[in-house]
């Protein structure tokens, strides 16, 4: 048989296309407008569909894939509650520790002294408070009454002393006699002055009598001063005794009335402050020894024996490597889909080809980092951490944000569908296809949920 040449084939094809176009136009022009087929009505097809998919029952999952890093779910930076000098460190970076193991110690001598001083101060403040609350004791009242009696006796003695002073030579006699003496010399000097003026005595005698007058006046002034001093002292003793008696009487009255609410409140405040200071000193002493709070590994231990460290400065970092989780960041557009408790599958670059199960354990409600992108931290706890996994390793987590189990499904790649939408699909019935309205539920990563319109086993014409 003779083969057709390429030009001949092209011409033949053009002729067939032209004939088909003429037939189509003829049919359309003679039969009127084409009406849509009724829903689910069968229509003959000249050729059976060549690509169909079956409706099956299974699970539909929608996952959010996010990158992350491995961290220890239980990690603690440990430091001393008070500053001081390190005298012992028992571990190094990488060491394994057990709960209760001593890791490091400070010099406790200064801390023990601080506890002793705080204890003394607290005891004093507490005793004062207890005394105020208890009210006056019989001993206190007896002492207050004795103080009043002593003050009364002192006042009586002072008053008697005043009488004695008033009748003493210093007060009663000396000033009087010195006054008489000064008056006599005053008169005598006047007489001597008249005689001098009359030429009966010379200037020397007159000067002598004048000096005697001055001396007498000085002695009189001295006697008056001494008398005044003696009287002032006696009167001051009386005033002092009266004041002492007044205070003693007030003390007794205050004692009988008991402590005021203000006094008790102030004493309570002082006692509480002393108690808090004591507890802090005790806590500082207890915190001078770092003890492992759980079984773990030392991630960092850089301090050395002899180093002086400040309070709460990180000395040792401890982590529990049996409880690892993946720390991821989720963008603001997806974070609303994530909730604690959601299942997740995790893969690690260090364990290629393996998948591990986990759950979302917690989320941070604040923005992560300071960069322009708004993201939030999400933590995925592993059901069982694989051997050899270490903090810092990279991972990818598929967080199951939506899931339907045991539902009718179609492969997602076979149809075009949006969640919670209704679409039309062609379903094979024998040698024909029918159109059905199908309601779509969840659109998963691999398949979609069929809510209505199809049954298990139906063969659906693929639309993609």
The angle subtended at Cα 41 by Cα 57 and Cα 28, nearest 5°, is 135
pLDDT at 268: 96
333 and 398 in one domain? yes
Kindly report, residue by residue over 316-358, the tens digit of the pLDDT: 999 998 889 999 999 999 999 999 999 999 999 999 889 999 9
pLDDT at 50: 61
pLDDT at 22: 34
342 and 358 in one domain? yes
Are 63 and 447 contacting, i.e. CB atoms less than 8 angstroms apart? no
Tallying the residues shown for the chain, one arrives at 464
Q: How high does pLDDT run on average in the chain?
A: 88
With respect to residue 164, please indicate whether it lies within any of the assigned structural domains: yes
- Which of the four pLDDT bands, split at 50, 70 and 90, describes residue 235? very high
Residue 167, pLDDT above cutoff 90: yes
Mean pLDDT of the region 142-156 = 96
Count of CB atoms situated within 10 Å of the CB of 243? 12
Are 326 and 395 contacting, i.e. CB atoms less than 8 angstroms apart? yes
pLDDT at 329: 93
CA gap 222, 178 in Å, rounded: 9
Count of CB atoms situated within 10 Å of the CB of 248? 20
159 and 57 in one domain? no
456 and 379 in one domain? yes
> For the domain that residue 84 is a member of, what is the CATH number?
2.40.50.100
339 and 294 in one domain? no
Mean pLDDT of the region 147-170 = 95
With respect to residue 367, please indicate whether it lies within any of the assigned structural domains: yes
Mean pLDDT of the region 88-116 = 96
- Which of the four pLDDT bands, split at 50, 70 and 90, describes residue 60? very high
Residue 151, pLDDT above cutoff 60: yes
- Which of the four pLDDT bands, split at 50, 70 and 90, describes residue 14? very low
95 and 211 in one domain? no
CA gap 228, 226 in Å, rounded: 5
327 and 304 in one domain? no
> Residue 142 belongs to what domain range?
136-258
Residue 217, pLDDT above cutoff 70: yes
With respect to residue 276, please indicate whether it lies within any of the assigned structural domains: no
pLDDT at 388: 86
Single out the residue in 267, 301, 318 at which a domain terminates. 318
With respect to residue 4, please indicate whether it lies within any of the assigned structural domains: no
CA gap 272, 280 in Å, rounded: 12
Sign of CA dihedral 269, 270, 275, 280: positive
Mean pLDDT of the region 112-117 = 97
- Which of the four pLDDT bands, split at 50, 70 and 90, describes residue 123? very high
CA gap 118, 121 in Å, rounded: 5
346 and 233 in one domain? no
CA gap 233, 164 in Å, rounded: 12
pLDDT at 254: 86
With respect to residue 40, please indicate whether it lies within any of the assigned structural domains: no
The CA–CA distances, whole Å, from 448 to 50, 178, 402, 422, 462 equal 22, 134, 12, 12, 13
Residue 120 φ/ψ, nearest 5 degrees: -60, -45
253 and 206 in one domain? yes
150 and 249 in one domain? yes
Mean pLDDT of the region 232-259 = 93
With respect to residue 126, please indicate whether it lies within any of the assigned structural domains: no
The total number of structural domains that make up the chain: 3
Residue 4, pLDDT above cutoff 90: no
pLDDT at 8: 36
With respect to residue 46, please indicate whether it lies within any of the assigned structural domains: no
Count of CB atoms situated within 10 Å of the CB of 61? 19
Are 285 and 112 contacting, i.e. CB atoms less than 8 angstroms apart? yes
65 and 96 in one domain? no
pLDDT at 331: 92
Single out the residue in 258, 275, 306 at which a domain terminates. 258
173 and 293 in one domain? no
Are 328 and 372 contacting, i.e. CB atoms less than 8 angstroms apart? no
With respect to residue 421, please indicate whether it lies within any of the assigned structural domains: yes
CA gap 346, 63 in Å, rounded: 12
237, β-bridge pairs: none
> For the domain that residue 448 is a member of, what is the CATH number?
2.40.30.170
Kindly report, residue by residue over 33-56, the tens digit of the pLDDT: 332 333 344 444 445 446 899 999
CA gap 101, 290 in Å, rounded: 8
């Amino acid at each position: 048989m003779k083969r057709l040449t390429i030009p001949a084939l092209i011409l033949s094809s053009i002729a067939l296309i032209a004939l088909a176009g003429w037939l189509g136009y003829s049919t359309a022009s003679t039969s009127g407008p084409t009406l849509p087929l009724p829903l689910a009505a069968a229509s003959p097809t000249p050729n059976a569909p060549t690509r169909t998919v079956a409706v099956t029952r299974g699970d539909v999952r929608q996952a959010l894939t996010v990158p992350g890093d491995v961290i220890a779910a239980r990690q603690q930076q440990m430091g001393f509650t008070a500053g001081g000098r390190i005298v012992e460190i028992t571990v190094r970076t990488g060491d394994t520790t057990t709960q209760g193991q001593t890791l490091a110690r400070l010099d406790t001598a200064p801390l023990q002294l601080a506890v002793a001083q705080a204890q003394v101060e607290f005891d004093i403040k507490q005793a004062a408070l207890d005394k105020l609350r208890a009210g006056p004791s019989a001993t206190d009242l007896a002492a207050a009454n004795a103080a009043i009696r002593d003050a009364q006796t002192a006042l009586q003695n002072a008053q008697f002393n005043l009488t004695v002073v008033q009748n003493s030579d210093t007060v009663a006699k000396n000033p009087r006699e010195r006054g008489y003496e000064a008056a006599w010399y005053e008169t005598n000097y006047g007489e001597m002055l008249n005689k001098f003026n009359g030429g009966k005595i010379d200037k020397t005698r007159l000067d002598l009598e004048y000096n005697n007058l001055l001396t007498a006046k000085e002695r009189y002034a001295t006697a008056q001063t001494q008398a005044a001093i003696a009287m002032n002292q006696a009167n001051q003793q009386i005033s002092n005794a009266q004041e002492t008696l007044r205070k003693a009487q007030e003390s007794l009255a205050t004692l009988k009335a008991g402590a005021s609410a203000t006094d008790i409140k102030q004493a309570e405040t002082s006692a509480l402050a002393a108690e808090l200071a004591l507890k802090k000193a005790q806590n500082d002493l207890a915190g001078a020894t770092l003890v492992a709070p759980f079984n773990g590994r030392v991630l960092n231990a850089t301090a050395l024996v002899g180093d002086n460290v400040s309070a709460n400065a990180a000395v040792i970092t401890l982590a529990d490597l049996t409880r690892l989780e993946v720390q991821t960041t989720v963008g603001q557009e997806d974070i609303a889909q994530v909730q604690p408790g959601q299942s997740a599958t995790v893969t690690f670059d260090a364990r290629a080809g393996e998948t591990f199960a986990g759950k979302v354990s917690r989320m941070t409600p604040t923005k992560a980092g300071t960069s322009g992108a708004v993201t939030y931290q999400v933590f995925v706890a592993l059901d069982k951490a694989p051997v050899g996994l270490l903090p810092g390793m990279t991972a990818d987590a598929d967080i199951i944000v939506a899931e339907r189990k045991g539902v009718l499904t179609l492969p997602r790649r076979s149809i075009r569908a949006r969640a919670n939408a209704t679409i039309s699909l062609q379903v094979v019935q024998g040698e024909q296809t029918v159109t059905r309205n199908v309601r779509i539920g969840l659109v998963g990563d691999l398949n979609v949920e069929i809510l209505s319109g199809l049954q298990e086993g139906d063969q659906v014409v693929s639309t993609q």
